[in-house]
């Protein structure tokens, strides 16, 4: 019996396996080796593709990569007290391993810097398969952030609305290829996005030189700069391209940002000498002259209105200043408040017409609207009355009397005034339509009489009041038709 015990002890002492003892001086070293094997097993699992790793913390906050954290654990494990081992972390294991979320709320950075000790016993078999998939995101997600896309692929992804980083295109050649691909894709948003990137990362001289031979991209950049109001950048671009007229026009647009009227006048005066085309030079000159005229009219009228010396200003107070108003508005203002003034004054409508070469049609339309609004029917009549060299008078309207009737009707002209101008409409059908529409009964009855249209006269009899003068007139005409 004792021999059997001796043989058993000899077997255990001679075997390559050693019994576990609490006072084994090498046990701490064996634990360290075992933990390193577990760590290496984890590194094999998660280190196969660094680009695929999701950088997370224990609490979900971004920190260093997990592979880095594992290396930190391996180097500091000698100072940590590890409790227990997990058989699933043996060398050659192919299972994914993850830490259970409920173990701790500390960040990985603090965990792997030695501030917290992690027990390997937490890596149980039940947690291995449940949490391992969270170490990496799906392929469809992490590929969206890949930095290996070619310029062509990058443009295609931008056209589909995918997030793309253009910072990887660092060389001038890569940036130009990206721009050419964007232009070839015929997508204005993509072209503009690439141009914004180039504008931010290239010197102006280089960008301007390359855009000079890429007219489509150049047009997109010019439009973008105009929309964003980047006048200085736009002026530099036009100067580089030697587009003198566009430089002048861009400088002229600056007057819109000048609120003070005197400063705007001086600015416009300086714009007259810029290299505009002949037609544009005339417009700039007219703009300066008009603003100068408006300043004078505004000062005088404000004084008259404040002093109460003018009846028309007392009866029709001004609703707004005349400053910076268009030419047509200024003409209407002059026809409303200064219609009878002599041609020599700046506020005279005829002076404005002559100075700015306003066409007859525009002048008549504006004057008619202003005087009709004041119900000055005598002025309306004088506006269309002309004399020939024999002294005979007749009415003539460069805009057509049908338009005169419409303007008068909008200003609530009396029927007697309307009928006078409806009669002057040459086209018979138009005249009848206007007479019927605006209830100019006398004109309609007289037109049917001249046409000898008994049927229409009889029908029109139903449109007038019974027993009225118009009904008696129709009956008289019908009776005369029967006798003849």
Q: Are 452 and 432 in contact (CB under 8 A)?
A: no
* pTM, to two decimals: 0.59
Bridge-partner residues for 394, per DSSP?
Answer: 386
* Alpha-carbon gap, residue 335 to 386, rounded angstroms: 19
Q: How many residues does the chain have?
A: 484
Q: In the block, which residue shows the tokens 């494990």?
A: 77
In three-state secondary structure terms, 385 is strand
**pLDDT for position 419:** 93
**pLDDT recorded at residue 235:** 86
Helix residue ranges per DSSP H, 254-384: 261-271, 278-307, 311-315, 327-337, 349-355, 360-373, 377-384
First to last CA, the chain: 164
What is the C-alpha to C-alpha distance for residues 196 and 177, in angstroms, rounded to an integer? 15
- Give the integer Cα–Cα distance in Å for 426 and 206: 67
Dump pLDDT digits (tens) for 41-73.
Answer: 544 444 444 444 444 443 444 444 444 444 444
CA distance 248 to 227: 18
Nearest to 445 by CA among 403, 408, 413, 481: 481
103/124 Cα distance (integer angstroms):
12
Helix (H) or strand (E) holding 393, with range, is: strand 393-395
| Residues 370-405 as b or e (16 or more Cβ within 10 Å = b) | bbbbbebbebbeebbeeeeeeeeeeeebeeebbbbb
Which residues in the chain come in under a pLDDT of 70? 1-148, 482-484
Distance set, CA 240 to CA 104, 208, 234, 235, 473 (Å): 63, 7, 10, 9, 80
* CA 277-282-286 angle, 5° bins: 145
| Sign of the CA dihedral running 412, 416, 420, 426 | positive
Q: CA 465 to CA 455: how far, in whole Å?
A: 18
- Percentage helix, strand, coil for the chain under 3-state DSSP, each rounded to 5: 65, 0, 35
Structure-token match 């680009």, residue found: 51
Phi-psi region of 414 (alpha: psi -120 to 50; beta: other; left: phi over 0): beta
């Amino acid at each position: 019996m004792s021999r059997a015990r001796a043989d058993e002890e000899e077997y255990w002492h001679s075997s390559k396996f050693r019994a576990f003892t609490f006072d084994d001086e090498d046990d701490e070293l064996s634990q360290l080796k075992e933990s390193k094997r577990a760590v290496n097993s984890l590194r094999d699992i998660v280190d196969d593709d660094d680009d695929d790793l999701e950088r997370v913390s224990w609490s979900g906050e971004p920190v260093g990569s997990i592979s880095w954290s594992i290396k930190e654990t391996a180097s500091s494990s000698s100072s940590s007290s590890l409790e227990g081992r997990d058989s699933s972390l043996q060398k050659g294991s192919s299972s994914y391993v993850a830490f259970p979320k409920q173990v701790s709320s500390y960040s990985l950075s603090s965990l792997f810097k030695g501030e917290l000790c992690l027990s390997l016993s937490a890596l149980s078999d039940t947690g291995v398969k449940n949490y391992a998939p969270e170490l990496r995101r799906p392929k469809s997600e992490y590929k969206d952030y890949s930095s290996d896309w070619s310029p062509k692929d990058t443009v295609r992804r931008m056209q589909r609305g995918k997030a793309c980083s253009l910072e990887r295109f660092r060389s001038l050649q890569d940036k130009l290829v990206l721009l050419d691909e964007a232009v070839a894709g015929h997508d204005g948003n993509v072209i503009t996005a690439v141009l914004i990137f180039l504008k931010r990362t290239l010197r102006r001289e280089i960008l301007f030189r390359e855009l000079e031979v890429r007219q489509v991209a150049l047009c997109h950049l010019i439009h973008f700069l105009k929309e964003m109001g980047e006048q200085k950048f736009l002026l530099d671009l036009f100067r580089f391209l030697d587009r003198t007229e566009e430089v002048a026009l861009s400088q002229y647009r600056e007057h819109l940002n000048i609120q003070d009227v005197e400063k705007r006048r001086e600015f416009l005066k300086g714009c007259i000498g810029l290299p505009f085309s002949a037609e544009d030079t005339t417009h700039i000159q007219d703009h300066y002259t008009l603003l100068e005229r408006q300043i004078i009219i505004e000062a005088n009228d404000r004084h008259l209105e404040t002093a109460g010396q003018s009846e028309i200003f007392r009866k029709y107070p001004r609703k707004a200043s005349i400053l910076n108003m268009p030419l047509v508005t200024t003409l209407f203002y002059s026809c409303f408040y200064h219609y009878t003034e002599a041609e020599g004054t700046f506020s005279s409508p005829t002076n404005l017409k002559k100075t700015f070469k306003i066409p007859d049609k525009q002048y008549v339309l504006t004057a008619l609207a202003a005087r009709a609004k004041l119900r000055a029917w005598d002025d309306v009549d004088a506006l269309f009355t002309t004399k020939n060299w024999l002294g005979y008078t007749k009415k003539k309207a460069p805009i057509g009397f049908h338009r005169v009737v419409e303007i008068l009707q909008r200003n609530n002209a009396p029927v007697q005034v309307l009928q006078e101008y409806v009669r002057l409409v040459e086209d018979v059908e138009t005249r009848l339509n206007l007479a019927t529409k605006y209830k100019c009964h006398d004109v309609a009855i007289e037109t049917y009489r001249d046409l000898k249209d008994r049927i229409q006269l009889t029908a029109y009899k139903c449109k007038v009041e019974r027993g009225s003068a118009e009904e008696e007139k129709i009956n008289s005409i019908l009776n005369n038709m029967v006798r003849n």
